[in-house]
Structure 1
């Protein structure tokens, strides 16, 4: 279960090739890449700084992937999340999932990114012409997460 938090960029083609390597049963590879947008709430973003809690972040990401593996029949998942200063158009996050069939891979990939956006301990600070500001969680991210919650389920943060 590859989980990486890093400052350096990643190569999508190389990462996906490595994820599929040696498993002839893989029939589906689904990936999601998140990038830095140059507009947030109508203000230009010159730079975004991502911070995390080392050790805790990797543990949270591992728990999210483990939960996806329990829910769907997937072979593997990869999560790479960048930290540090990033510019508009830079890649922030890669989530990739392999499985025998596309339905399982799509669902698991969407689940992982929805949980990552709300449950993983990352903090974003944007630099705009009006000054620096911390980015709050979006209501749409919480709404996306709600569809995955099961009765009595604890958040990843509490596991």
Structure 2
């Protein structure tokens, strides 16, 4: 693409998977997922009162370790499993910031399974054949949005399995 002056400009195409807008957790302002086009994305459904909640620590460390290379983590709190995320968006935001120092993008509480699942989670489940079975299910999306991998709750953020998959996707065509 060239600008009016003829200089080349770089515009990342937004894959269909990312063509959605979701409210940000802390203020519910709409956020287009297209802003993450060209990055490796780890989508995680989260909960504040779950045995896996401590994974927030590992997710934040993973984000800090790889964000300069193009990884972004997107957290989606959900009350779909065991009523383990009953709080308001503001209370969830405060918990994430104050307890775990979360800096990666978090979105407003949503449904991640069944007929009420948000469109992103519906697409991720369809592409992988794997619907979240519990909190802290992870989907890893390639830079071009064409490759999606699914990781169950028991796979820790800093596990060899997940970090190797992240590194492989980060090394893929940019």
TM-score (norm 2): 0.29
- In terms of fraction of residues, the more strand-rich structure is 1
TM-score (norm 1): 0.31
